[in-house]
Amino acid sequence: MRLIGHKKQIKYFEKLIKEDAFLNAYIFSGLEGVGKLEALKYILLKYVCEKKEGCGECTRCKRLKKLSIPDINFILPDRISENLNKMYEEGEWSFENLRTDKFSRELVIGIKTVRRIEEEIKFKPLELERKFYIFLDADLLNREAQNALLKILEEPPDFVSFFLITPFPDSLHLTITSRCIQIPFFSLNFEEFKKYFGKRKSLYFLYRFSGGSIGRAKKIIDENLIEEYGNFLKEIARNENEEYFPFKKFEKSEIKNKIFLFGFFLEELTKIKLDKKEIFRDHPYVAEIEFLSSRIDPYTLDFLYEKYYKILEGFKRNIPAYFLGYLFDSLRFGLP
Ligand SMILES: [Zn+2]
């Protein structure tokens, strides 16, 4: 398995594997798509591998790839895990296809799931030295479930390790995060990013737009978000804010992209004000962004940031998209 970047994090776990010195709980945090789960897959392969290399060829490696080692458990939102058999049959549930941003943020990991884990961890691992429980979107744990998880983390058996993967570690109670080792994952640098995507048009722009996250960059390509960003800039530049900010109810999936695009827009304006010329490299919409920057003064930018952070906070706390839409609308008043 090939992994790009995150060398320090991997080195840390390679040492743990060698010494079998895993602790009870880890939080993997960092931008969506940056490689948290990919790194964990890489670590798990090394751990289970009969040669401790993650060769991908030995029986254990192959079984992990089929997700059929009973001591390694991936925890999904409740409604999804009920349909796991179907997903498994359709090939959607496989080691390669595991992703963290696959599930709508309206789903939850509830108390039943955590209670089930509580029962299971009373029993020793079946074939490995330890049992792993991996929460693919730990921020979906609801309040009750977090309280139950806290109880487990207060006195876990030695042979259990939890991995909580999330781009929003703040959504977890401090009482939980304080019992975990937090492993932060940072954006890739441009050289690493280039290794993955090779030559393509506006590559540097894609790098900045995705925040150096391969997963996010793939999504940007799949969902044509560069074009959507262009449309957004053009509409605002033409003073057609109503097009982009219709007074209507948003779907959660829709608002997620809008928040992302708007956040990037603010970042660009800030960089222009700071005279960071690198933003014009490869930029497909230079004229629009320069024009808009000249029309938005620092005070207005401040207003936009304040509103933006409120919306982002609401999104992290799973406030219904409906209400976020109202907040989002208020942004139009700060635009030219
Ligand atoms: Zn192997």
Q: Model confidence over 38-84: pLDDT tens digits?
A: 999 999 999 999 998 999 999 999 999 988 899 999 998 887 777 77
2 CA to middle of ligand 1, Å? 14
Instruction: Tell which residue, 292, 281, 101, 293, has the closest CA to residue 206.
Output: 281
Query: 173 pLDDT exceeds 90?
Result: yes
Tell me what pLDDT residue 277 has.
87
Given a contact cutoff of 8 angstroms between Cβ atoms, the answer to whether 74 and 67 are in contact is yes
Query: 333 pLDDT exceeds 70?
Result: yes
Cα–Cα distances (Å) from 245 to 250, 260, 303, in that order, read 10, 15, 17
Query: 307 pLDDT exceeds 80?
Result: yes
Tell me what pLDDT residue 151 has.
96
Single-letter amino acid, residue 115: R
Encode pLDDT of 112-157 as tens digits: 999 999 999 999 999 999 999 999 999 999 999 999 999 999 999 9
Tell me what pLDDT residue 165 has.
96
Tell me what pLDDT residue 316 has.
81
Phi-psi region of 262 (alpha: psi -120 to 50; beta: other; left: phi over 0): alpha
51 CA to middle of ligand 1, Å? 6
158 CA to middle of ligand 1, Å? 25
Tell me what pLDDT residue 101 has.
64
Single-letter amino acid, residue 102: K
User: Residue 180 and residue 182: Cα distance in Å, rounded?
Assistant: 6
State pTM to two decimals. Answer: 0.87
Instruction: Tell which residue, 79, 152, 168, 83, has the closest CA to residue 114.
Output: 152
161 CA to middle of ligand 1, Å? 21
63 CA to middle of ligand 1, Å? 10
243 CA to middle of ligand 1, Å? 54
User: Residue 16 and residue 46: Cα distance in Å, rounded?
Assistant: 11
Single-letter amino acid, residue 292: L
User: Residue 190 and residue 324: Cα distance in Å, rounded?
Assistant: 33
Percent of the chain with pLDDT over 70: 94
45 CA to middle of ligand 1, Å? 7
Tokens describing residue 27 = 């939080």
User: Residue 112 and residue 81: Cα distance in Å, rounded?
Assistant: 12
Q: How would DSSP label each residue in 95-154?
A: TTT--SS-S-TT--B-HHHHHHHHHHTTSPPSSSSSEEEEETTGGGB-HHHHHHHHHHHH
Encode pLDDT of 238-287 as tens digits: 876 666 665 556 777 778 888 899 999 999 999 999 988 889 999 999 99
Given a contact cutoff of 8 angstroms between Cβ atoms, the answer to whether 204 and 281 are in contact is yes
Given a contact cutoff of 8 angstroms between Cβ atoms, the answer to whether 27 and 138 are in contact is yes
160 CA to middle of ligand 1, Å? 22
Query: 35 pLDDT exceeds 80?
Result: yes
Residue 229 CB contacts under 8 Å (≥ 6 apart), including other chains: 209, 261, 264, 265, 285
15 CA to middle of ligand 1, Å? 18
Tell me what pLDDT residue 94 has.
75
Tell me what pLDDT residue 238 has.
83
Tell me what pLDDT residue 16 has.
94
Rg (CA), the chain: 22
pLDDT band of 196, cuts 50, 70, 90:
very high
Tell me what pLDDT residue 321 has.
77
Per the prediction, the chain carries an average pLDDT of 89
167 CA to middle of ligand 1, Å? 30
